[in-house]
Structure 1
Amino acid sequence: MLKKIIFTLFISAVSAVVAVNFYIKASLKETEARLWRMQQAVSDYNNNAAYPYNTGQIPVVFTGSPARYGNNSWDDDFTKSNSGFIEAAKIANPTVVNIAAMRLESGSNTNPFGELFGDKGADWFGYNAPYKADAGLSNGSGVIVSTDGYIVTNYHVIEGSNQIQVTLYDKRTFTATLIGSDPSTDIALLRINASALPAIQYGNSDELEVGEWVLAVGNPFNLASTVTAGIVSAKGRNINILKEESAIEAFIQTDAAVNQGNSGGALVNLRGELVGINTAIATPSGSYAGYSFAVPVNIAGKVIDDLKIYGFVQRAYLGINTRDITPDIATQLKLKDMNGVYVEFVAEGGAGAEAGLKKDDIITEVNGYKVISVPEFKEKVGRFRPGDVIGITYLRKGQMAYTKMALKNAAKTTKPAGTPKQDLEKLLGAQFQELTPAEMNSLGTRNGIKVTHLTENGLLRTATSMKVGFIVLKVNNENIDNIEDFYNIIQKVPKGDGVMLDGIYPNEKHKKLYAFSMK
């Protein structure tokens, strides 16, 4: 019995040795075969040959050289495309700034030693401080659009603030003046007292293609100079985020990562040109969820120019009501497609009526650019001012037609709108900013406005020796608490009568007087 067991174990051991030996030899042969195929493949690749390799599932055909380290076309193309991102970031980064907008409010802390020392108004170790430094803070981004200090951002970044701090790429910090804002497009224009700044170049948002690479540059979560990449996902997007009656929403939609703090930052193409102002994200969580939206530069640029020149946006009106084409409208008018905007009402005496537009017309182009929706149409028209003439292509009863339209303002005239304040600003050649509580405290005054800009041909430059930075405390011996006070007093001065400005310069002890005659 023992002999049988030993014999069985011996036979099993021999069989195992033979099987292992056979498996090793078979494996070596298969390995040799694989090595040969790999060598042959590499040889074919090096010779730029097309080599089909059957994986047993789907044939993979290589045409030309594969990805390798060293000099080859794939590596060169990758390097070139990557360098486009790098160069665009290098161009855009220095032009994007961080913005901290604050609402400084009067303090109400009580000095516990006031009763004892008989001076309740004294500032003892911060008690009864004239302002609260942290009473409302909004952080966002901005883009330098001119070398002399103009910066564009979103209106919602600075809304309600009375002090705006701007930190440049090189870490310098400035207090900014609000030149003007436009809630209808969510654009605001600031200015800082600086020169020789790196300014971004405008691109053309009309030429952006869906699928084109773009970079978003800003300061999300206060992470300075953050660059993210994505593609243009859609154009002319209306997300109903702006609540103004004349709101223009035709956003560029991208999948570049944008978060809180990116608002007001730059959306640039791979040439480093500004194509949009990052404005909003669509998210259920408050953070980036795949969709971000930017105001096209072609509309932002017009708003910037208006704010520079007029202090507000010159809005052009067509005197028509439009809506997107629905299937019912398309069926009723026997339209081939639903591209364009439907004219449902034409106001008498408006620009549309004078251009010959009628109800049931379908507008298809503005100045040669196709429009397929109302947001796109509004964005195209929003680039123009009263008095500008635009070309309208439209469809009427199956026939294409073309007309020219002279745009009008809300008063149905073709003159750009103006205000008495703007007329005075132009006459005086000056821009002003109200003092913050901190500035009042530093100057030892409770009122006054600051001169932030002087033009060469204005009265204050030609008739006086006033310099930027002058603090106007009184006009004709009346205290000035704010800009409105200043203009209300100046407006009452008849032509030819004298105006006396009483004030100070920061860091100077003596008061200054400037006199001139109204024209």
Structure 2
Amino acid sequence: MTSQTSIESLEHRKPVPRHRLTKTVVASAVALALVAGGGVMARAENPPVSALPAAGQPMALPSFADVAERVSPAVVNVKVTSEIGGSPMVRGFRGMPDNMPVPEFFKRYFGELPQGTPHRVQGQGSGFLVDPDGYIVTNNHVIDGATEVTVVLNDGSSHSAKIVGHDDKTDLALLKIETDRPLAYVELGDSTKARVGDWVLAVGNPFGLGGSVNAGIISARGRDIHSGPYDDYLQIDAAINRGNSGGPLFDTSGRVIGVNTAIYSPTGGNVGIGFAIPAETVSRVVADLRADGHVERGWLGIRIQPVTEDLAAGLGLGAARGVLVADVVPGGPASATDLRAGDVILSANGERIENYKDLPRLVADLKSGSRMRLEVIRDGKPRHLEVEVGAMPDEDRIASASRSDGQSEGNPHLGLYLAPLTPELRMRRGLDAGSEGVFVAQVEPGSPAAEAGIEPGSLISMVGADPVSSPEQIQSAVRRASAEKQRAVIMRVERDGQALFVAVPLSA
């Protein structure tokens, strides 16, 4: 679900003055007469790129009625219900400077703060059926945190949906509903054949108004909007608004070439810049989710950085391309090869690396055990290496040894699983290079941390008035607070560019 909150009114357009219209018609008639007369205008050997095709006649605008009628039965409305639990916390510190310590009055009066009241929150988005058995594709952010998911079909019938799997790195999710009849569905197409300027249709449920069809064109390809490590969006100008998230983007043949996911909007409403996940990404992720509920990605175990013009000059490269290996993770797949920090990777399995994110995308598409051939430059000389791709570790597994509340030692149990914020983790999670703190990999449902509003994917940058950069520091701070008989520990939590202080109760 996107963050748009208002509908912009259409600008009133003035009618074309009659005298101007008349001059235009006369001029056009004279031009046609000159062409028809022959010999007056020389015919160019190569017509200009803007020349119209058939005898100068303008192309008629297409009608999408047949396509819309055919595909609409497969597009669904996704309704979600989430529960926000009550807890002693304060969320009123968003305007504070980043380096401001916890206010003294907050410490002094914390014990008197009232408990929040648990309440249910409802939202909605769109989705589409990809087979007659009831499998539905939508965005992960549509169903993220949902306790109930309901799918409303085109015929108005409602069905309880099960979340088969979800993938936050590509913002995709797969749902399943049970029915006693085959359902209308649509097929995933091939967006690689779509060109900038091609017509597209966005179908969904904007603002909860019901099934709507919007037409536009592909404005650009390969957009990186910094939402994750594998950004490769189609940019479109078809109107996408709140509630369109998770809906399909069709080509004029009625095949799905993307999933409408995000917009750029300084006003909160549609301004003609929308983004859709390409069908090839959707196809790969949905296949994995359907098979076992999660997405397996390849992993080399290296930390990389872009090759800038200055770095290229210093490394003796002819151009700024490829990626520079900043570090090789000990115990990772690449550590068993001759790959070293300082190597520049120019290609992988024969594909040139032009952009910083090209290599992570290529590696992620491979299964564990696959072989990858790398062309590298070291000391100005080319080398060829081969590495066996490993399986990318999940955040849960990264943090399995970092349950940072020390419950086993009789200390308070917060329900937090934390991981160090490494450069690789920053890249995989789409975090800024300057992000600081400790990464929250997992939060136990119903735990003090969950009730305080801490969510997986957040960063904890302070405990009390002290900055933290490792799980061990948080662990020590929690133990110290418990030893001092504090009723809660105050943490500064950052998520989606917002920072706030929360108070997590300490219970032995």
TM category (shorter chain) comes to 0.5 to 0.7
Query: Which residue in the other structure is 1:143 paired with?
Result: 128
Distance, in Å, in 1 between the alignment partners of 2:362 and 2:190 is: 13
The change in CA–CA distance for 1:348 and 1:216 in structure 2 (over 3 A counts) is: same
Deviation at 1:408, TM superposition (A): 0.8
Deviations 1:262-304 (A, max 9, x none): 1111123333332322211122222222322222332232221
Is residue 2:304 matched to residue 1:319?
no
Q: Post-superposition shift, 1:179?
A: 0.8
Indicate conservation of the 8 Å contact 1:252/1:293, yes or no: yes
* Inter-CA distance 103–294: structure 2 relative to 1 (3 Å threshold): same
CA offsets 1:418-454 (integer angstroms, 9 cap, x no match): x9xxxxxxxxxxxxxxxxxxxxxxxxxxxxxxxxxxx
| Aligned residue number for residue 222 of structure 1 | 208
Q: How many Å apart are 1:101 and its aligned residue?
A: 0.9
The amino acid across from 1:306 in the alignment is D
State the Cα deviation string for residues 97-120 of structure 1 (Å, max 9, x = none): 1111123799xxxxxxxxxxxxxx
Equivalent residue of 2:161, what SS? strand
* Kept in 1: contact 2:363–2:389 (CA 8 A): no
Distance 1:362 1:394 in 2: 5
Match of 1:159 among 134, 144, 148: 144
CA contact (8 A) 1:184 1:248 kept: yes
Alpha-carbon distance, 1:42 to partner: 4.0
Aligned to 2:237: 255
Counterparts of 2:322 and 2:293, CA distance in 1: 33
Name the CA distance, whole Å, in 1 between partners of 2:338 and 2:280. Answer: 27
1:101 equivalent in structure 2 = 80
Q: Is the 8 A contact 1:216 1:256 kept in 2?
A: yes
What's the offset of the Cα at 1:209?
4.2
Equivalent residue, structure 1, for 2:272: 290
Q: How many residues align?
A: 338
Q: Determine the C-alpha separation between the residues in 2 that align with 1:411 and 1:379.
A: 16
| Structure-2 change in CA distance of 1:254 and 1:370 (3 Å) | farther
Q: Is the 8 A contact 2:297 2:363 kept in 1?
A: no
SS for the counterpart of 2:290 is helix
The CA deviation at 1:330 is: 1.7
Return closer, same or farther for 1:332/1:160 CA change in 2, 3 Å cut-off: same
Q: Which amino acid aligns with 2:277?
A: V
Q: Which has the higher contact order (CA 8 A, sep 6+)?
A: 2
Amino acid of the structure 2 residue aligned with 1:229: A
Say whether the 8 Å CA contact 1:237–1:375 is kept in structure 2. no
Q: What residue in structure 2 maps to residue 265 of structure 1?
A: 247
Q: Look up the SS of the partner of 2:274 in the other structure.
A: strand
Mark the CA change 1:40 to 1:291 in structure 2 (over 3 Å): closer, same or farther. Answer: closer
- For the residue of structure 1 that corresponds to 2:361, the secondary structure is helix
* 8 A contact 1:220–1:258 mirrored in 2: yes
| Structure 1 or 2: more helix by fraction | 1
**RMSD (Å) for aligned C-alpha atoms:** 4.1
In structure 1, the partner of 2:416 is: none
Partners of 2:172 and 2:324 lie apart in 1 by 28
| TM-aligned CA deviation for residue 86 of structure 1 | 5.3
SS in 2 for 1:381: helix
Contact residue 296 and residue 392 of structure 2 kept, 8 A? no
Task: Measure how far apart 1:151 and its partner are.
Answer: 0.7
What does residue range 303-452 of structure 1 map to in structure 2 within 5 Å? 303-354=285-336, 356-396=338-378, 403-410=385-392
Q: Quote the offset at 1:338 in angstroms.
A: 2.7
Give the letter for the 1:326 counterpart.
T
Counterpart Cα distance in 2 of 1:371 and 1:274: 28
1:176–1:190 contact (8 Å) kept in structure 2? yes
- Once the two structures are aligned, what percentage of the paired residues are identical? 33
Question: Secondary structure at the residue paired with 2:277?
Answer: strand
Question: Aligned equivalents of 1:259 and 1:176: distance in 2?
Answer: 24
Q: Which whole-Å CA distance do the structure 1 matches of 2:125 and 2:250 have between them?
A: 17
Task: Give the CA deviation at 1:237.
Answer: 3.1
CA distance in 2, matches of 1:233, 1:395: 36
TM-score of the superposed pair, with normalisation by structure 2? 0.56
Q: Name the structure 2 match of 1:181.
A: 166
Aligned equivalents of 2:40, 2:133: Cα separation in 1: 59
Which one of the candidate residues 203, 213, 226 is aligned to 2:189?
203
Counterpart amino acid of residue 313 in structure 1: V
Q: 1:207 to 1:42 in 2, by over 3 A?
A: closer
Ranges in structure 2 where 5+ consecutive residues have no aligned partner: 1-23, 86-118, 401-508
> Given the superposition, is the C-alpha separation of residues 411 and 224 from structure 1 closer, same or farther in structure 2, using an over 3 Å criterion?
closer
Compute the displacement of 1:175 (Å): 1.5
TM-score, length of structure 1 as denominator length: 0.55
Contact 1:181 1:189 in 2 (8 A): yes
- Post-superposition shift, 1:364? 4.0
Q: 1:169 to 1:381 in 2, by over 3 A?
A: farther
Choose from 78, 83, 94 the match for 2:59: 78
Equivalent residue letter for 1:200: V
SS of 1:285's equivalent? coil
CA 35–254 in structure 1, closer or farther in 2 if over 3 Å, else same: closer
Judged with a 3 Å threshold, the aligned counterparts in structure 2 of structure 1 residues 348 and 161 are, in CA distance, closer, same or farther, namely: closer
- In structure 1, stretches of 5+ residues that fail to align are 1-33, 53-61, 107-133, 420-519
SS of 1:321's equivalent in the other structure is strand
Change (3 A) 1:225 1:73: farther
